[in-house]
Structure 1
Amino acid sequence: MYVASVRPGERIKGKVPGTVVALGAVSLLTDVSAEMVTAFMPVYLLFTLNMGYAQFGLLDGLYTGATAVLRLVGGHVSDRTHRHKAVAAVGYGLSAVTKLIFPVVGASAFGIGAAMAADRAGKGLRTAPRDALISLATPPERLGAAFGLHRSMDTVGALLGPLMTFLLMYWVGTVAGPVFVVSACFAVVGLIVLVAFVREDRRSVVAGPRPSARAGVALLREAGYRRLTVGAAVLGLATLSDAFVFILVQKATNAPIHLLPLLPLGTALVFLVAAAPVGRLADRVGRWPVFLGGHVLLLAVYVLLLVGGTGYVGVAAALIMHGLFYAATDGVLSARVSALVPESLRASGLSVVQTGQALARLVSSVAFGLLLQFAAFGTAVYTAIGSLVIAVAIAWRLNITNTNTNTNTTNS
């Protein structure tokens, strides 16, 4: 098994490197930009451009799934060239440019689809190189804390984006131009912060094999990494998309329909508060147990959906557990993968796991949507519960013997 290495001068107990903070600022600004568009897109497509629901569903699926394969490209290219920052900058820049394309393409479904694909292509390219930058700048024993801090800052942007869109719509109505221009400005500022303040160690020699497609495939021959990749994908198959979770919570608790757009803010607030401390907890007690624990919390959300008439108490409980689920899984998984992959293949190793998880969740969304359309509410929820129970059992069985395989740190 490869062991993640760190240079002696970087072992600073109790501190997160400045590179991580700078990347957190980049993600904060970029998420303001991205979430402004995400919040505005239904209004823009359905009410401003008068698209049908079938077209909207197709474009929304494209927006969700377009990142998957490009994560592999971004990871491989950044490892091969040793330019993680440059590849991430291309991804951030591409997403920034596309914000100005949306109003230009007008009502063309093809044009909007192409712009959305380009925007998500930027996200796909930048994700693995960005996470590689975080992991390479951080001592192994602090990876959970580093990714937790980054995800906390990222979530601030996720909170501010919809609020910014709401304010613009309140002031100028559903005019598209101001939303996309302001969104582009935030994205450009994020790119400037990346270029100016994120430092990258450009060593000519790094620990591990030379980056190549063959070396990337060889990672899957390592039992621990392979089990983790399969386990994350299996759990992804049983994970409902956020949109479905919020819709089901609203239906199960009989909360007013006008509260539905505000439910994501509740999850994001909990995620913001909990991401950093849960990341530190994962560093101490083990990242894979915390990751599985997060899915147990998600299972509790599913079970809560079967309890009728819980009202606002049920909404609050569901959002708290949903936010804790993200705090225990999002950055923690990247920290766990980083501890198993050599420095020279760090972005590639991260991208393979992230791609498998993203594709699995895409399949899950399509399958559950069909189930919810043709089956009763209770049947759909029971199916989701059963699927997640089986997935957690499989993932635990796959990785229970691998929790402490990394000899560099006992809490990987």
Structure 2
Amino acid sequence: MYVTTPSLPGGTRAVPATVIGLGIVSLVTDASAEMVTAILPLYLVYGLGLGYLQLGLLDGLYTGATALLRLGGGHLADRWGRPKAVAVAGYGISALTKLAFPLVGASAAGIGATIAADRVGKGIRTAPRDAMITAATPPETLGRAFGVHRALDTAGALIGPLIAFALITLVAGGYDTVFVTSFCLGAIAVLILIFFVDVPGARPAVPIAVREGVRLLLRPELRRICLAAGLLGLLTVGDMFLFLAVQRSAGLPSELLPLLPLGTALTFMVAAIPVGRLADRLGRRRVFLAGHALLIGAYGFVAVGGAGWWVAGAALLLHGIFYAATDGVLMAQAGPLLPAELRASGLAVVQTVQALARSLGAVGFGFAAQAFALTWAFTGYAVALAAALGLLTLRAAR
């Protein structure tokens, strides 16, 4: 089954219903997740008084706790031939963890364990979900399909902080209310996935020899993708740090910190489909690298600083386009290179390399910010990212 989505002027293009259904599941789930994510920097820095190093460690945990579980989720989806069932388990785990936040209170260790459990759920579900999108979509339109999915996903990221901000502002004891509401939305997303998302072309499990599987997953094309994703991931600052730096460099009140993710989310949502189409036409690797060039600009605005919303707006605009040019585009680049029986496992390998690299990058940034100050840390990461991007661009030109 296909449904139509807006295309370039003069027509519409068909997008598989599976992609739309998974996009709606992601929309509701992201609304649930971003309610919590939006208040975490405010809660951790201004509520618990954590320093940059502690924030870096938690940010690295938030990014990296999904890494190895992605491999497990991808392997199980391929081995059983049931990516939807594995995705349901992952979404369910993430929903349940939201109820743990009120129980752990102000314990940094408890918060870290809860974040890790939530990221376990995300790690399990991500590769099977992206494998379902790849299986349901013709290869030549994968960039647009992932763009549609990411646009719906990001609509949830736009809604979540608004709900969180309203609850924190209007409800006494708003933090606990945010966590319970987040759980309810996560549970709704699981039900939508179970009852309303079909997976066309679902196949029976096909055992494959380990040696053969490793050989297929170590092909040069996939190694190049992993190298680029890993190197650039090491120099990608975590979202919590970026939003905190934007708030401070622009001189905005701390109460507005939960609203800053809206700038990134709105830009990502608007840009995801056109940038995905552009990647289909111009080449997904080119667009992926260009997205990181825009991220250097975002770092620059944060490092230079300046009072006013224009600094925050420019940094968040570039940050949102960066996500539109890299998140789904990377999966669209890797998906067609993988055989069907190893698709989820192969996508999990790419995602794991990127997640581990970003986790290490977040911890490293925390050390740098603690030692040299936030603006100097962003300056250093911008220079290093520019050097890495230049190296990869030269390598691609050979």
Map 1:90-129; keep pairs closer than 5 Å: 90-106=89-105, 111-129=110-128
Task: Please name the residue that 2:9 is paired with.
Answer: none
Kindly provide the CA deviation profile for residues 31-81 of structure 1, in whole angstroms up to 9, marking residues without a partner as x: 111112223445666788x68658776555433321111011001110111
Q: Is the 8 A contact 1:225 1:337 kept in 2?
A: yes
Task: Please name the residue that 2:268 is paired with.
Answer: 271
Kindly provide the CA deviation profile for residues 295-318 of structure 1, in whole angstroms up to 9, marking residues without a partner as x: 111112223345453633232222
Map 1:103-182; keep pairs closer than 5 Å: 103-106=102-105, 111-182=110-181
Task: Please name the residue that 1:73 is paired with.
Answer: 72
Assess, with a 3 A threshold, how the Cα gap between structure 1 residues 36 and 380 changes in structure 2: closer, same or farther.
closer
SS across alignment from 1:248: helix
Kindly provide the CA deviation profile for residues 122-144 of structure 1, in whole angstroms up to 9, marking residues without a partner as x: 11100000000001000001100
Matched AA of 1:183: S
Matched AA of 1:82: G
Matched AA of 2:202: R
How far has the Cα of 1:157 moved from its partner? 0.7
Tell me how large the CA RMSD over aligned residues is: 2.7
Q: Is the 8 A contact 2:56 2:364 kept in 1?
A: no
Kindly provide the CA deviation profile for residues 194-217 of structure 1, in whole angstroms up to 9, marking residues without a partner as x: 1112112222388xxx54543443
Q: Distance in 2 between matches of 1:81 and 1:121?
A: 20
SS across alignment from 2:202: coil
Task: Please name the residue that 1:236 is paired with.
Answer: 233
How far has the Cα of 1:27 moved from its partner? 0.3
Q: Distance in 2 between matches of 1:303 and 1:98?
A: 36
Q: Does 1:387 align with 2:384?
A: yes
Task: Please name the residue that 2:202 is paired with.
Answer: 202
Kindly provide the CA deviation profile for residues 172-211 of structure 1, in whole angstroms up to 9, marking residues without a partner as x: 22254432222111111111111112112222388xxx54
SS across alignment from 1:339: helix
Q: Does 1:326 align with 2:323?
A: yes
Task: Please name the residue that 1:350 is paired with.
Answer: 347
How far has the Cα of 1:343 moved from its partner? 1.3
How far has the Cα of 1:262 moved from its partner? 2.3
Q: Distance in 2 between matches of 1:156 and 1:324?
A: 14
SS across alignment from 1:15: strand
TM-score, structure 2 normalization? 0.88
Aligned residue pairs: how many? 388
Q: Distance in 2 between matches of 1:382 and 1:114?
A: 32
Q: Does 1:303 align with 2:315?
A: no
Q: 1:222 aligns with which of 219, 223, 229?
A: 219
Task: Please name the residue that 1:187 is paired with.
Answer: 186
Assess, with a 3 A threshold, how the Cα gap between structure 1 residues 34 and 212 changes in structure 2: closer, same or farther.
farther
How far has the Cα of 1:219 moved from its partner? 3.4
Q: 1:339 aligns with which of 316, 331, 336?
A: 336
SS across alignment from 2:246: helix
Matched AA of 1:268: A
Matched AA of 2:282: V
Task: Please name the residue that 1:245 is paired with.
Answer: 242
SS across alignment from 2:15: coil
TM-score, structure 1 normalization? 0.85
Q: Distance in 2 between matches of 1:314 and 1:52?
A: 25
Gaps spanning 5+ residues in structure 1: where?
A: 1-8, 402-412
Matched AA of 1:202: A
Assess, with a 3 A threshold, how the Cα gap between structure 1 residues 98 and 381 changes in structure 2: closer, same or farther.
closer
How far has the Cα of 1:377 moved from its partner? 5.4
How far has the Cα of 1:390 moved from its partner? 1.8
Deviates more, 1:13-22 or 1:166-175: 166-175
Kindly provide the CA deviation profile for residues 223-244 of structure 1, in whole angstroms up to 9, marking residues without a partner as x: 1111111111111111111222
Map 1:12-51; keep pairs closer than 5 Å: 14-41=13-40
Q: Is the 8 A contact 1:228 1:398 kept in 2?
A: no
